[in-house]
Chains A and B, each alone.
Chain A
Amino acid sequence: MSGHKVVLGGVAVAALLAAGTALAVDPPKMGRPAPADLVKLMDISIPPDGTGLPEGQATAKQGQTVFMERCAACHGERGEGKTNDRLAGGKGTLTEEVTVKTVGSYWPWATTLFDYIRRAMPYNTPLSLKDEEVYGTVAYVLFLNGIVGENDPINAQTLPKVQMPNRDGFINAWKEPAVATR
């Protein structure tokens, strides 16, 4: 597996290489095993298939209270945007003269909302919301965009299945290099 050798020295190596002998050693192995509880604490990213979503659930109705208290000051009570990003509306404007990119009009995946709110919001106290509160604010933002109903439970099973309006609006431009780099 280890494809990366360390080449030692300058002139001496050149001489050895010229003689047809490569001088190489493995890099040192200085990493310490990461304890499982540390990995669990840090592993907060959620991909589109929902792997890693925690237990618990909430509806938009339940989430509304949290949103008013913890989010509305910066994003507006109905996600209309205030000092910071607008979170709702703008559907169908991606080709209009005035384009409004929001969770509802632009985001391809609902799981990103859980991932992002949990890791970074509220701005001044990230990672302070309980999992149910994150599910609640996710549900409320989706509800504001007409994507889920007010009483739909949002949880680890339902969230990855939420169909975002702009789901097919993204094109993966990344092409793997044809030649393997090692």
Chain B
Amino acid sequence: MTRRMKGEPHPLEGAEPAAANGLLHRRMFLRGGALFTGATALGGLASIVPASAATLPEWRTTPGRPFIGYGYPSAFEEPVKRLVTARAADYPTPGTGSSRTPLHLLEGIITPSGLHFERSHSGVPDIDPTRHQLVIHGLVRQPLIFDLDALARYPTVSRIHFIECAGNSGGGWGLNPPAGAVATMHGLLSCSDWAGVPLSYLLDEAGIDPKAKWILAEGGDAAGMSRSVPLSKCLDDAMVALYQNGERIRPEQGYPMRLLLPGWEGNMNVKWLSRIKLTEGPTHTKDETSKYSELMPDGKAMQFTFPMEVKSTITRPCETLNMRGPGYYEITGFAWSGNGKIKRVDVSADGGKTWAEAALADPVVTKALTRFRLGWQWDGRESILQSRAVDDTGAVQPTRESLVAEKGVKNAYHYNGITSWEVRESGLVKNVWA
């Protein structure tokens, strides 16, 4: 309910700024009780609550609806849904493409399963789990089949990890900043609590031939989407994931099983996983040559750039979530790295001239979205909000300028430059290159 910004100034405890343009210290706390001042805290919704309520609402005087087997969000939350690109009704391949997670409307670090971004190459298959199996073959002692019953017998691991499409934020390579909420540019990003079987158990059981250095992982969808993965990753933290946020993986995410390669390009986390072949070298599939390779300014393409680099973005405020007058606001967003844990996030309100360290909300998990927050006393003047993440390998999120200087603008993938939200005096927020 409090997703809208509140505009009222708040009494602040020892409110000395940590950086220019009103950024507050990360250990700044609002004075107790300040959040519970009724209509003020409800922000935009406050206007429809009568100042003095002479009548009680009808749900106080009428019993509610009975129990249901599977719950769904309040009807009032209808606008909170994935961004699906509109297409002509007769578009011949409606199952290709993506839908995006509405990052700006979410809190915490877990993406509700129904809002996890989608990216598929030939639609979402309706797989009967009793007829689905995973075949492991190639450079192994004994080719094996695993069905869901068999996989249920192994020790399970559960971990929180993000999945980010390698093409996420691809608009960053463009000449002009994409218009729209944070999800428009960065919404091919989600984070779930995944549970399943370590892939290493299954590979060991098949008996790895020492000549094997890679695998080919293939999906059971109509695209037979396939990617090559170094064996070392498969024996490290790779998982055959069966559960997402406590329930079976959603069809859009690979029901009944997907490969999970923590921190690596979303496309490699092969959904509807049905085959793994151990090989000496990479297979050079369409989606690791024609697509998901990074074309550099010299005309050469970087291939097999697997981990998603350190990155962050402010999700509130962002374009479409405009300011409602000067006063106190919480700046918040996500930071993440495919190479480890987030160590630090800095926030700037003056386009990167001065920075203040943001607070990181627990838990801070390796290769997972990390929630950061920082108080901001907006004085109503034009500001440019930025966030900059640092991971525990020491990698620092680059500015767009330095990223483009290094990688050019033809690379459609792996954009991790700093996002800039320009806050205008009118309160309008715009995505800008700064």
B281 in the interface (beta carbon within 8 A): yes
The docked-state distance in angstroms from the alpha carbon of A180 to that of B232 is 8
Partner of B154, one of A30, A33, A176: A30
Q: Are A39 and B284 in contact (CB under 8 A)?
A: no
- Chain B residues, Cβ within 8 Å of A30: 146, 150-151, 153-154, 205
B contact residues vs A (CB 8 Å cutoff): 91-93, 96, 121-122, 135-137, 142-146, 150-151, 153-155, 198, 200-202, 204-208, 216, 218, 222-224, 226, 230, 232, 235-236, 274-275, 277, 279, 281-286, 289-290, 293-295, 297-306, 410
A135 in the interface (beta carbon within 8 A): no
A-B contacts, 25 of them at CB < 8 A, read A30-B153, A31-B136, A31-B150, A33-B145, A39-B135, A39-B137, A42-B218, A45-B285, A47-B282, A83-B91, A94-B295, A106-B290, A109-B284, A109-B289, A115-B283, A115-B286, A123-B92, A171-B303, A173-B302, A174-B230, A174-B303, A174-B305, A174-B306, A176-B230, A177-B232
In the complex with contacts A115-B285, A119-B226, A181-B136 CB distance below 8 A:
no
Q: Are A47 and B284 in contact (CB under 8 A)?
A: yes
Partner of B298, one of A42, A73, A95: A95
In the complex with contacts A45-B283, A95-B298, A74-B93 CB distance below 8 A:
yes
In the complex with contacts A43-B137, A112-B284, A170-B293, A3-B204 CB distance below 8 A:
yes
Q: Are A126 and B410 in contact (CB under 8 A)?
A: no
Count, chain A residues at interface, CB 8 A = 55
How far in angstroms is the closest Cβ of chain A from B413? 12
Q: 10 closest pairs, A vs B, by CB?
A: A31-B144, A174-B304, A30-B150, A34-B143, A94-B299, A119-B224, A116-B286, A95-B299, A181-B236, A27-B201
Given contacts A32-B145, A123-B96, list 7 more A-B pairs with CB under 8 A. A27-B155, A45-B218, A99-B295, A170-B289, A170-B302, A172-B303, A173-B302
A21 in the interface (beta carbon within 8 A): no
A11 in the interface (beta carbon within 8 A): no
Partner of B283, one of A6, A42, A46: A46
In chain A between 71 and 119, which residues have their CB closer than 8 angstroms to a CB of chain B?
73-74, 83-84, 94-95, 99, 101, 103, 106-109, 111-112, 115-116, 119
Q: Are B300 and A171 in contact (CB under 8 A)?
A: yes
Q: Are B135 and A34 in contact (CB under 8 A)?
A: yes
**Which A-chain residue is minimally distant from B91 (CB atoms)?**
A83
- Chain A residues, Cβ within 8 Å of B302: 170-171, 173
Q: Are B92 and A176 in contact (CB under 8 A)?
A: no
The docked-state distance in angstroms from the alpha carbon of A17 to that of B153 is 26
Q: Are A38 and B305 in contact (CB under 8 A)?
A: no
